[in-house]
Copies of this chain bind each other. A is one copy, B any other.
Amino acid sequence: MAFKIGLLGLGTVGTGTVQILLDTNGRHPLLQGLSLHRVGVRSLSKPRQVELPETLLTTDLEEIVTDPNVDIVVELIGGLEPARSLILKAISHGKHVVTANKAVISRYADEIFTAANEKGVYVMLEAAVGGGIPVIQPLKQSLGANRIHRIMGIVNGTTNYILTRMQLEGVDFSEVLAIAQELGYAEADPTADVDGLDAADKIAILASLGFGGRIKLSEVYCEGIRNINASDISYADRLGFVIKLLAIASRDSQATAENDLLSIRVHPTLVPKAHPLASINDVYNAILIEGEPIGQVMFFGPGAGAGPTASAVVSDILNIAAVLNSPLSGEVHPLMSCTHQHYCNLAPMEDLITRFYARFITQDESGVIGKLGTCFGNHDVSIESIVQIDTHGELAEIVVVTHDVREGNFRQALDEIQSFNVVNRIPSILRVL
């Protein structure tokens, strides 16, 4: 039996997807049972990189998601609307959905999965996180035996490219951003990437699957990389770290059986050079998952791009085709669905236990280091090292690295330190893995 695909969008990922579907030789044989039924775009006159019968293209996307002949709707238009409404309408018409749209899924998972579960259809999203890297399906299936403790990743290629260049070339953020934009690695409006919003969407999705609950995106803490400068990267380097934008979801140390508290956050992080995530460079992504009893596993690969992302999209199509091929009697496949309905509780950032790196510009006077140390001690902030890195005229540059401390305590100490006469400013505060 042939299953009919209704594709929404023929841009970067849509084109990659069509290329696979039209050239199935040597790929999974199940692909031969699929046919491309309609393709929805914004402009019919735009030149396309794939040759399709003209009759396949339409600008009427509603028609595709309601077409009784379509079995699987593949949403690759991006953005919030009309993507969200089209996905919901497809579901209400009994269609299975494949999407790469992290923005929609991270915001509307609740209504989308509720609708999908009611209708008994699948909504698959392997391409929404990590581009081509298989991570959604492993989280749903291969790691099911585990209690997940932490999911941690480099999930945004643009910022990883920028930080890698800054690291290797010793240049500042704005300079590299301009190059990245020229090379097409960063958008003209880079906000979603450099402010960590894209990574926040993705970690919310991973956390939801790993911890089996829904996540309020607005509660995810999010800090981007605009303030990272060349000197922090060079000091971090001397201390044995590289700076990476990490997206982290972990079970909070305060979590109990009754109150399942999570901590979910995106922020630049000092990563020890020997850590597996430290050597993930350029536009590559990697996701590290920790659980019991598996310990650590890491998935590494291309986090974006037409081919890799299309590989993930088509793997979702294959998974759906596999169960359509010989339908399950009654229920949906329990390892392909998302049936949890409760929202997870997220711990406030002040309760986070983490290490910190902070850089201070102070008067170059004796006793300053003692003052900082005493103040931190008064707030239960245990220090690993305080080093005067440099002096500039009358000013000294001091770098502090803490042990694991409560973020709230550290912030209180900083508030007090900021009021010291000898302290000029605190240009950088970064967390340390």
> Could you say which residues of chain B place their CB within 8 Å of the CB of A27?
144-147
B301 adjacent to A298 (CB under 8 Å):
yes
User: Does any Cβ of B come within 8 Å of A50's Cβ?
Assistant: no
Bound-state Cα–Cα, A306 to B145, Å: 13
- Residues on B with beta carbons closer than 8 Å to the beta carbon of A132: 293-295, 297
Using Cβ atoms and an 8 Å threshold, which residues of chain B touch A53? none
Does A31 reach chain B (CB closer than 8 Å)? yes
CB pair A294–B298 under 8 Å, yes or no, is: no
A326 CB → nearest B CB, Å: 4
Residue of B308, B319, B331 near A326 (CB, 8 A) is B331
Interface size on A, residues (CB 8 A): 60
A145-B331 in contact (CB<8A): no
Q: Nearest chain B CB to A147's CB is how many angstroms away?
A: 4
> Is the Cβ of B335 less than 8 Å from the Cβ of A331?
no
Instruction: Write out the residue numbers on chain B whose beta carbons fall within 8 Å of the beta carbon of A318.
Output: 141, 144-145, 335
Q: Does A333 contact B (CB under 8 A)?
A: yes
| Bound form: Cα–Cα A132–B145 in Å | 11
Q: A28's closest neighbor in chain B, by CB?
A: B144
- Whether A229 is near chain B, meaning CB under 8 Å from some CB there, is no
Q: Are B145 and A311 in contact (CB under 8 A)?
A: yes
Identify which of B126, B295, B300 contacts A276 (C-beta below 8 A): B300
| Contact (Cβ within 8 A) A328 B330 | no
Within 8 A of B (CB), among A282-308: 291-302, 305-308
Q: Is A213 an interface residue (CB 8 A)?
A: no
> In the complex the two chains form, is B20's CB within 8 Å of A293's CB?
yes
- Are A334 and B30 within 8 A (Cβ)? yes
Q: Which chain B residues border A307 with CB–CB below 8 Å?
A: 292-295
A142 at the B interface (CB under 8 A): yes
Determine if A297 and B294 form an interchain contact, defined as CB atoms under 8 angstroms apart. Answer: no
Decide if A325 is an interface residue (CB 8 Å cutoff).
yes
Within 8 A of B (CB), among A1-49: 16, 19-20, 26-28, 30-31
Contact of A31 among B126, B145, B301 (CB under 8 A): B145
Chain B residues within 8 Å of A328, by CB: 323, 326-329
- Say yes or no: is A143 at the interface (Cβ < 8 Å to chain B): yes
Chain A residues 91-138 with CB under 8 Å of chain B are 126, 132-134, 137-138
Which B residues are CB-close (under 8 A) to A326? 328-334
A333 touches B329 (CB 8 A): no
Q: Are B20 and A315 in contact (CB under 8 A)?
A: no
User: In the complex the two chains form, is A302's CB within 8 Å of B294's CB?
Assistant: yes
Any B CB within 8 A of the CB of A385: no
How near does chain B come to A342, taking the closest CB pair, in angstroms? 13
Q: Which residues of B contact A292 (CB under 8 A)?
A: 307
Instruction: Please give, as numbers and ranges, the residues of chain B lying within 8 Å of A399 by CB-CB distance.
Output: none
- The reply to whether the CB of A239 lies closer than 8 angstroms to some CB of chain B is no
Q: Which residue of B lies closest to A21 (CB)?
A: B145
List 14 additional A-B contacts (Cβ < 8 Å) besides A31-B144, A142-B315, A143-B311: A27-B147, A30-B144, A134-B134, A137-B142, A138-B142, A141-B315, A276-B300, A293-B308, A293-B310, A293-B311, A294-B301, A322-B334, A326-B329, A328-B329
